[in-house]
Structure 1
């Protein structure tokens, strides 16, 4: 990240998003450490209890930047829900990446998962959130951590949104993380208890190979060890109810919906053609966004509402 980009990111972290609700800062701490987080509460009277969406930023990002890029606060204002943005610290990771590749940070009630869960639980308690409508989503390293949270805390979250992320427990150190980002898994991994998941990925992502999206879906649909006997990109075992192609805001996409039995949706996968490592349909004032393509934020919210 160059000096100009760092200054711009700092300015975004200090500024609001221009939305009418309250966008506040707080800090949560437990035995694993402490992290700051931002919380958006929409303005005006709302039907209660409201849902909560927890958003995990990618590397080199912070809460305000991620909020701006995803436009999630504006959607919270429109649809009536709260948004929490846990923030990684530079002390924990110099690039502000969530440490999804550390074994400690892949365990329930340990490391960063315990902190993110703690933030979620605090916000839910303080604001009387509907416990059945708490969702978590993230981009890149944040997407990988969102998968971890969904696997470790299935009673806390109702569904997971993943953009340009990686499957659960795909690595346990930096070398294996770099390999996993290329779609190469060093050793077999068992999944946890995956939740319904919606996955977005660009087919021109040069940072996190799009095969990782297929692996996230594979874990959610098979609900069994994903890497022991299945090579990256292998055909999904779950029944495919619908696969369609379309055009959204200047980019074509292929969407595949996986169901179990009748109407139970296990996963929804969006492969956005021509998209790199960026949030589809995002605000260009935020980092790692692409204004073109279907709105990942709106589609994730639609999916969340459908699986509640």
Structure 2
């Protein structure tokens, strides 16, 4: 029998431009008492398709009033694993399919269950991770999710020793609740952009939990977990913890506190036994005396609030369609597939236990030009790369800087050697395989000789933060209410205006007689709200150039629609972490760079967004205009 829940309300509306952090825990206190009913074996299952998911009803008393969706791959073996996947605020069950879990299930043959929150419980569809009645054993939403697992066990051949849970954001805060309340059900879990169990037990406490975070001693955190199931003496779940270091919605401090909680639960110290870099991200592993990996952390340098994924990654052993998700809202392409690495940690790739997957890096070699060659003009740079699992991409480097990427063999790019000065330069190639291993060949040295013209000079200009604008966060140009979105915003505001970011540079240091031969802009990701690239489909980010500034005084709101000296001079590819370099400016863009004063760049999306959505980028020293010229 379904237990009726209290109705909930929240004084803010989504259209009011409330920062994402507020929506992570929007909703008022629930009202469910203890319920211990479990589903009957063979419970009736009513099914309705939803994309790749099928809805399941009749899965027990469901005191949390959640919805259940599941994905069952074809050709499932007996005693297969099961993974529960929890979405974040404003998301639905199908949103987390985009992270790659259903595709991984098809390749590695495990069942996937997707609980879904209802707006009647929480108006922004957040799991109620801050409600004591929803995170305790045999109560509320925690029990509803456990009943979904029980229903899968009663319906399919599920190995009860291989049941796992993974979640993002509000769903990630529910992961430790399930691990703490049901260590007899879940063998491992993955916390992606969440925090420790019982970090908050009220809506108000949720603010401090998310940002700046709650600091407790490891033993105090561990006691909270041990108190969730008093008297339990069995094995505790292993935990994988993921967090973007530039997450301004849930502070990265939560990664440290969660690590301290679960290492203490396992009775091990907080000093990592393995420290390595995978796809340029720090990865730490905490082991017991026997060498078993019990806790791991992944620090996603420069990434904001989202799920780490790699749109080019193919799950080893799968077909060409078994990709690691697709870029979307809160799905950040950082060239690292979190689903794959979490599945490895769970043991889904290797039949259980700590994964022993591919750790062998690919081979890579620059094949042209030859080491010691003298080159000039446009040079065809090529590389060979191979791997037993599969090469996902090859990055080309000039003097250690990535200048091009190729994901298809034969790996090559056309290098304009005139962009660098005459003399010796080092060419390199870095290959990545499907398991995240990488290797670099960086021993090709060539001599550039471009005669008949002076050697080019490279100048860099950082943006003038005081003149950049006009929007720092809110639609009226004011600072964000919670203070963690203080950079420039591109997209659509609540006032219906678009593309409001300008970057100002003092380029008067260029010689009056200089000939500008190349220019590009480098911007740094701050955070995001929604996905302005995808709505409408095919949206692109481009740069306009103004010789001088759009306004003789301070940049104002109306200037976003002003005329530029050159429009759409270069594009910036979709990115959700770190720094991104634009393409080279067009000839018109080069001519518009002002050698006598200031140059202003306007960043805009080519199409108007269909909803309030922002990409936030940093200004000041984090926005750099690079200009190559000949005196």
TM-score by length of 1: 0.84
Q: Which residue of 2 aligns with 1:36?
A: 67
Deviations 1:62-118 (A, max 9, x none): 1111112x1111110001011000001101100110111011122100111111111
Structure 1 residue 266, shift from structure 2 partner: 1.6
1-structure distance, mates of 2:224, 2:294: 15
2-structure distance, mates of 1:221, 1:185: 17
Q: Is the alpha carbon distance of 1:154 and 1:172 closer, same or farther for their aligned partners in structure 2, counting shifts above 3 Å?
A: same
Structure 1 residue 29, shift from structure 2 partner: 4.5
Q: Which residue of 2 aligns with 1:228?
A: none
2-structure distance, mates of 1:53, 1:278: 20
Q: Is the alpha carbon distance of 1:35 and 1:246 closer, same or farther for their aligned partners in structure 2, counting shifts above 3 Å?
A: closer
Q: Which has the larger radius of gyration?
A: 2
Q: Which residue of 2 aligns with 1:163?
A: 192
Contact kept, 8 Å, 2:65 with 2:121, in 1: the verdict is no
Q: Is the alpha carbon distance of 1:298 and 1:222 closer, same or farther for their aligned partners in structure 2, counting shifts above 3 Å?
A: same
Contact kept, 8 Å, 1:101 with 1:173, in 2: the verdict is yes
Q: Is the alpha carbon distance of 1:291 and 1:260 closer, same or farther for their aligned partners in structure 2, counting shifts above 3 Å?
A: same
Q: Which residue of 1 aligns with 2:112?
A: 83
1:240 aligns with 2:240: no
2-structure distance, mates of 1:49, 1:134: 11
Contact kept, 8 Å, 2:215 with 2:257, in 1: the verdict is no
Q: Which residue of 2 aligns with 1:274?
A: 302
1-structure distance, mates of 2:60, 2:215: 33
Secondary structure in structure 2 of the residue aligned to 1:303: helix
2-structure distance, mates of 1:169, 1:182: 15
Q: Which residue of 2 aligns with 1:121?
A: 150
2-structure distance, mates of 1:293, 1:54: 24
Secondary structure in structure 1 of the residue aligned to 2:114: strand
Contact kept, 8 Å, 1:159 with 1:307, in 2: the verdict is no
More strand by share: 2
Contact kept, 8 Å, 1:39 with 1:84, in 2: the verdict is yes
2-structure distance, mates of 1:257, 1:243: 7
1:290 aligns with 2:332: yes
Q: Which residue of 2 aligns with 1:137?
A: 166
- Deviates most, 120-129 or 281-290: 281-290
Point out which structure has higher relative CO (alpha carbons under 8 A, 6+ apart): 1
Secondary structure in structure 1 of the residue aligned to 2:303: coil
1-structure distance, mates of 2:309, 2:215: 33
1-structure distance, mates of 2:242, 2:285: 12
2-structure distance, mates of 1:293, 1:99: 31
Deviations 1:178-232 (A, max 9, x none): 110014338865331452100111101010011101111111111189xxxxxxx
Secondary structure in structure 2 of the residue aligned to 1:30: coil
Q: Is the alpha carbon distance of 1:67 and 1:254 closer, same or farther for their aligned partners in structure 2, counting shifts above 3 Å?
A: same
Contact kept, 8 Å, 2:79 with 2:157, in 1: the verdict is yes
2-structure distance, mates of 1:215, 1:280: 20
Q: Which residue of 2 aligns with 1:59?
A: 89
Q: Is the alpha carbon distance of 1:197 and 1:290 closer, same or farther for their aligned partners in structure 2, counting shifts above 3 Å?
A: same
Deviations 1:149-170 (A, max 9, x none): 0011001011011100110000
Aligned residues: 278
1:219 aligns with 2:252: no
Contact kept, 8 Å, 2:239 with 2:294, in 1: the verdict is yes
CA RMSD, Structure 1 to Structure 2 (Å): 2.4
1:6-25 aligned at under 5 Å gives the runs 16-17=51-52, 23-25=53-55
Secondary structure in structure 1 of the residue aligned to 2:160: coil
Q: Is the alpha carbon distance of 1:222 and 1:83 closer, same or farther for their aligned partners in structure 2, counting shifts above 3 Å?
A: same
Q: Which residue of 2 aligns with 1:263?
A: 291
2-structure distance, mates of 1:244, 1:224: 22
2-structure distance, mates of 1:94, 1:29: 24
Q: Which residue of 2 aligns with 1:304?
A: 346
Secondary structure in structure 2 of the residue aligned to 1:258: strand
Unaligned runs of 5+ in 1: 4-13, 18-22, 226-235
2-structure distance, mates of 1:291, 1:186: 31
1:102 aligns with 2:131: yes
Secondary structure in structure 2 of the residue aligned to 1:151: helix
Q: Is the alpha carbon distance of 1:31 and 1:281 closer, same or farther for their aligned partners in structure 2, counting shifts above 3 Å?
A: closer
